[in-house]
Amino acid sequence: MAPPPLLALQGVMLTLGGKPLLEGADLSVAPGARIALVGRNGSGKSTLLKIAAGELESDAGERFFQPGASLRYLPQEPDFAGFATAAAYVEAGLGPLDDPYIARTLLVELGLAGDEDPSKLSGGEARRAALARVLAPEPDILLLDEPTNHLDLPTILWLEEKLASLRSAMVVISHDRRFLQDLTRETVWIDRGRARHLSRGFTEFEAWRDRELEEEEKQAHKLERKIANEEHWLRHGVSGRRKRNMKRLAGLHSLRAERRNRVMPTGEVRLEASEATLSGKLVIEAVKIGKSYGARVIVENFTTRVLRGDRLGIVGANGAGKTTLIKLLTGELPPDSGRVKLGAGLDMATLDQSRASLRPETTLQDALTGGGSDTVEINGERRHVVGYMKDFLFKPEQARTPIGKLSGGERGRLMLARALAKPSNLLVLDEPTNDLDLETLDLLEEMLADYPGTLIVVSHDRDFLDRIATSVLMSEGEGRWVEYAGGYSDMVAQRGRGVDARGAVASQAPKEKAAKEKPAERAPAKAKLTFKEQHALATLPAKMDELKTKRAKLQALLDDPELYAKDAGKFAKASEMFAAVECELAAAEEEWLELEIKREEIEG
């Protein structure tokens, strides 16, 4: 006999803005369950998860939560209000019997010291703090809404390993196919307000979904045929007994009502890239290029050739220099050494993961047309902007909607619409999969497969890289970049391992400060450095040397194979101190790098 569920939703109904969002949705979470919660953007996945977490009240339906069970909910946008430090935020999620040491350990493993100001955390740092808060208590139920958002590959791999080791039941919303395939054993599909259940993991979901939709289409066709036959009888049939005829006529009315009330599947995004004339066979040639900022080497002695039609994937931890490498390859940034040659006839279109060019007050229509127009040119043809919006699942009434009011998925589709509208034969996409639902990802992959030009893509989505890339550039550290043939899985097979899930994590969080601050987001350079900045620039090298010495001593202590057996407490404390020193050193290096860049900009 199956154990009773820890959490159950039955017949949940909710209407938002006058439109039904959930219409009788069910969800049951048994002990140890691993459930993928999937559906199109706007289908109600996050809303159902909020109702399950008790954060939102439904209009109708029942919620059962087993008394004494513990639950933690990871929202897409955690609220840090009222917390002075990241550690205070994480420890507030602990139960009365939970060990605060576990919270501190998780913070260190995720690359945070704990004393960070929550209001100044980057997107990746905020996501790591939120993960530490929900993982530390090891609750009976984990409800995770896009847990991999803003995380780099080392942290995603660490998170997979951590979740796999827990006994907690989990309900996970994610656009990362590989993440869902590795972790889930059941699938719940939110489709047109209802929840459809598959008793197998996400690996088998898409084939099952396609069969369900095909069967639904067959049933709809049968209904149409039956209605047509009954209408033919009504117009041309031989008159019979009135009672029998009235019954048959009522049956026809019932069939028509069934057709009228049938909710059609959500439309598909139509992705089509505006194509420029073909470029030359050679697109990019880089010969022994190098780029450094002070003592930090971003690229060293790197050589590659990108030919027309290549699909180049770039992977590495946050702060490895992926964006800098793209700027070097596309000629936006000159190398310190070596040379970069761009091919003839290049027309480049870019998609920036920061979405900094999307001003919140700009309307959807103006963002697509550039303002002052109601048409957009696609492949040499003028199209009305509303028609182009529909290709990306925007409604006509959204034309005047400010971008600040759009959801994350809608902003992602808007960025794609803008990038694909520009005629190009070289597409540069920086994290294009962020906030896109799985169906839109499928169509993006199909469009890119048919794109006749050249593609350079930065992504942490392993499945996306496997489907798209013909070669992968991997950051090996210290400015070394190595190119591997094939997609991400091929790179792992050739390299012998993927991006390390442990060790690398602790040093990445501070580096995100540089990654999140794109040149377009920085304030204009001042005429000179402030006194505080000059002092920091002068003193940081000594501080970094001191931290390196401290790190070396701790490393020597940890290298003693008998330390753990002799004094487990000392080993644990040394491990924690080593991670904290690594984090502090990375932060100091990053601060020095930013100041050095600023000094160079001021000096021209």
Examine domains 7-206 and 282-502 and report if their fold is the same. yes
pTM: predicted TM-score of the whole model, two decimal places: 0.69
Q: What is the pLDDT of residue 258?
A: 58
* Local structure of residue 590 (DSSP, 8 states): H
Q: What is the pLDDT of residue 273?
A: 58
CATH of 7-206, one of 3.30.230.70, 3.40.50.150, 1.10.8.50, 3.40.50.300: 3.40.50.300
Place of tokens 């009228």: 260
Q: Does domain 282-502 have CATH number 3.40.50.300?
A: yes
Percent of the chain with pLDDT over 70: 82
Q: What is the pLDDT of residue 312?
A: 94
Average of pLDDT values for 221-243? 61
Q: Which residue has the higher pLDDT, 440 or 546?
A: 546
Distance from CA of residue 127 to its chain's centroid?
11
Average of pLDDT values for 73-77? 92
Average of pLDDT values for 412-438? 80
Beta-carbon count within 10 A of 57 CB: 9
Q: Which amino acid is at 592?
A: W
C-alpha 306/C-alpha 309 separation (Å) is 9
Q: What is the pLDDT of residue 527?
A: 47
Report CA-CA distances (Å) from 66 to 7, 11, 140, 521: 6, 18, 10, 48
Q: Which fold would CATH assign to domain 523-602?
A: Helix Hairpins (1.10.287)
Band of the pLDDT at 204, cuts 50, 70, 90? Answer: very high
Q: Domain ranges for the chain, please list them.
A: 7-206, 216-261, 282-502, 523-602
Report CA-CA distances (Å) from 171 to 94, 143, 168: 20, 5, 10
Q: What is the pLDDT of residue 51?
A: 96
Average of pLDDT values for 27-48? 92
Check whether 43 has a pLDDT greater than 80.
yes
Check whether 510 has a pLDDT greater than 50.
no
Q: Cβ(541)–Cβ(595) under 8 Å?
A: no
Mean pLDDT, rounded, of the chain: 81
pLDDT in tens, 371-384: 777 888 776 678 88
pLDDT in tens, 481-505: 999 999 999 999 888 877 654 344 4
Q: What is the pLDDT of residue 416?
A: 77
Rounded to whole angstroms, the maximal C-alpha distance in the chain is 103
Check whether 302 has a pLDDT greater than 90.
yes
Paired residues of 122 in beta bridges: none
C-alpha 430/C-alpha 353 separation (Å) is 5
